[in-house]
Amino acid sequence: MDNLTHTLTALAMSQAGLNRKTRFATLALVIGANLPDIDLLWSMGGHGNYLKYHRGFTHSLAGVAVLGAALAALIHYVGQRAGPPKKASPPLDARWLFIICWIATGSHLLMDFTNAYGVRLFSPFSERWYAWDIMPIVDFLLLALLILGLGVPALFRIISEEVGARKPAYQRGAIFALAGLVLLWGVRDLAHRRALSLLDANTYGHEDPLEIGAFPTFASPLAWSGVAETNSAFYVLGVDALADNVDPRRARVLPKAEPSPALEAALKTRTGGVFADFARFLWSQVDETEDGYDVTLRDLRFASVSEERPGFVVRIALDKNLRVESEEFSFSGRTRN
């Protein structure tokens, strides 16, 4: 998920009651809910580094445990040397501080697990990806729920201060936001299962699907981007979870490339190899040019029915002797060399 969603979720957990357990609880929650993304620091440079290192160890069960413990130890060390708390602030409680930091880093792992990108739960012991596939990276409905749950009580609090009325608590709004988050996950999970069922009930080009996937869109919890792989092609099509069926004839058809030395050479490059390990629906295209070959690799999880959104793409240029001239990775129009 995006870092704004992580931060607002942390604030909701704090206002729901965790801020009463120990001093610095809100600080620990906000930092901890974003801390696993520290891997971006070593994911920036070089071909394929983003895919190789992002959501690796720091997005694993072991990683969030280590990060949570380190954060709790640091805040406890600094907190012991800070000035005395205000009367309304709870005392510094080491036990609760560690629990809250683990809740914070664990919430990051759980929320990233819900989207199609996924996490490597058991890194460094296994680099296998796990994903629930129910949430987009940025979900505007979830953001609206969090902003509503946190913002409305704050607004009423300001109004109450002006009129001299009793100040409303933030807790109910925070609990509303967190309950809305869980409810949204439930709705999306049901819609996801329905989309998969619709995709599996069809044939594609007179072939049964070898593998299917349904991935969330930004439009609606009921609108999904479906992918069906057959022996000869990939089919990318929109799926309405409330529809009675899907029409494979309206799919975007991407024929599979024939095995070739150029494709094999591209997949042996560092960027190509990392991308092949990451991609769940790997589609490749080889174009011969005057100087050699242009090889394009895409992960169709992030493709769209139209060609307007290219998704995750690797482009590798080879000369006539299959030596690499250039390689790049891009997503959503942004390129990483």
Q: What does the pLDDT look like over 158-195, one tens digit per residue?
A: 655 554 545 556 888 999 999 999 999 999 999 999 99
Confidence of residue 86 (pLDDT cuts 50, 70, 90): confident
pLDDT at 158 (0 to 100) = 62
Per-residue pLDDT of 242-270, as tens digits, reads 999 999 999 999 999 999 999 999 999 99
Biggest distance spanned by C-alpha atoms of the chain: 80
- Where is 53: in which H helix or E strand? helix 49-53
Q: What is the mean pLDDT of residues 78-96?
A: 85
Strands (E), 106-222: 211-216
Q: Does 39 have pLDDT greater than 70?
A: yes
Q: What is the mean pLDDT of residues 37-45?
A: 81
Q: Does 336 have pLDDT greater than 50?
A: no
Cα 93–Cα 94–Cα 98 angle in degrees, nearest 5 = 120
Q: Does 145 have pLDDT greater than 50?
A: yes
Per-residue pLDDT of 274-325, as tens digits, reads 999 999 999 999 999 999 999 999 999 998 776 656 678 999 999 999 999 9
Q: What is the mean pLDDT of residues 7-14?
A: 96
Assign 69 to helix, strand or coil: helix
Q: What is the mean pLDDT of residues 326-334?
A: 73
Strands (E), 289-336: 292-299, 312-319, 324-331, 334-336
Q: State the chain's mean pLDDT as an integer.
A: 90
Residue pair 65/109 in contact (Cβ under 8 Å)? The answer is no
Q: Give CA torsion, residues 45, 49, 54, 58, to 10 deg.
A: -80
pLDDT at 47 (0 to 100) = 58
| Distance (Å) of CA 145 to CA 5, 8, 82, 115, 197 | 10, 10, 35, 18, 29
pLDDT at 35 (0 to 100) = 97
Confidence of residue 142 (pLDDT cuts 50, 70, 90): very high
Greater confidence, 84 or 26?
A: 26
pLDDT at 306 (0 to 100) = 66
Greater confidence, 123 or 329?
A: 123
